[in-house]
Amino acid sequence: MKHQALFVLAGLALATSAQAADLSVAVGADYSDSGFQGTASQRPLTNEGNSRWTGYIDFRHPILLLPNVNLQRSDFSTSAPGISHDLDVYDLTFYYRPFELDLLSIDFGLDLRRYDGDFNGQGYTHDQALAYLGAESSLPGTGLGVFGDARYGAWNGEESHDWRLGVSYTLNPQDSLQLKLRGGYRNARFDYDEAGQAFNQRMDGWFMGAEIRY
């Protein structure tokens, strides 16, 4: 039994070292000029177009039993006459990639979301757990690709979703340090009660950005 256990451990070590090239870290940012509408405490919040930024860091590794990790921050602040709502949305996503080929990869996992807001000078935080699904496809030898991801959760009268579809172009797909340009469309809805207020807001618009992966 001891020899069998040592054999298994040695096999796992060799498999991990053989897949070490799969270890990667990416940082990226997206810019959008998106519309925003909805209500806060039954008062209308509407903007035709606001400059918004999303930044993220993504960590992938070859250990099968442990999830990959993505941390994202989005600015969804908005305002209306007599109303100011500063809102940062943080997403900590744990995901697995059970299917990965040269043409297609699929991710699924759990997203822990925090709304960090300030409504007319009153700060608050609100937490939600969302299901996560992502996919990416590329055309070998061209650097061109398409991607999409979605987060969704509904419970206790609250419902939130956040999804993106886009295209990408990797300038140096064969290098260990890759630069990817990306753009697409994003649609998000936030529905929750916090700090004695009811927030029901929607955002949608086109985005463009870049990502560096090593």
Over the stretch 142-185, which tens digit does the pLDDT of each residue have?
Answer: 899 999 999 999 988 888 999 999 999 999 877 889 999 999 99
Q: What's the pLDDT at 16?
A: 39
Band of pLDDT at residue 44, cut at 50, 70 and 90: confident
The CATH number for 146's domain is: 2.40.128.90
2 in any annotated domain: no
Contact 186, 205 (CB under 8 A): yes
Residues 6+ apart with CB under 8 A from 107: 68, 95, 96, 97, 132, 133, 134, 135, 149
User: In angstroms, rounded to a whole number, what is the distance separating the alpha carbons of residues 93 and 43?
Assistant: 32
pLDDT band at 138 (very low <50, low <70, confident <90, very high): very high
Nearest to 134 by CA among 175, 184, 78: 184
Instruction: Taking residues 8-35, report their average pLDDT.
Output: 66
In this structure, what are the phi and psi dihedrals at residue 143, rounded to the nearest 5 degrees? 85, -5
Q: Does 7 have pLDDT greater than 70? A: no
- The answer to whether residue 78 is domain-embedded is yes
Q: pLDDT tens digits for 59-80?
A: 999 998 999 999 999 998 887 7
pLDDT, position 47? 67
Q: Is residue 16 part of a domain?
A: no
If one counts the domains in the chain, the total is 1
Give Cα 79 distance to the centre of its chain: 24
Give every CB contact of residue 160 below 8 A, 6+ residues apart in sequence: 113, 128, 130, 151, 152, 153, 154, 188, 189, 190, 191, 192
Question: Which pLDDT band holds residue 31 (cuts at 50, 70, 90)?
Answer: very high
What pLDDT, on the 0 to 100 scale, is given for residue 66? 95
Q: Answer yes or no: is 110 within a domain.
A: yes
53 assigned to some structural domain: yes
- Domain housing 130: 22-213
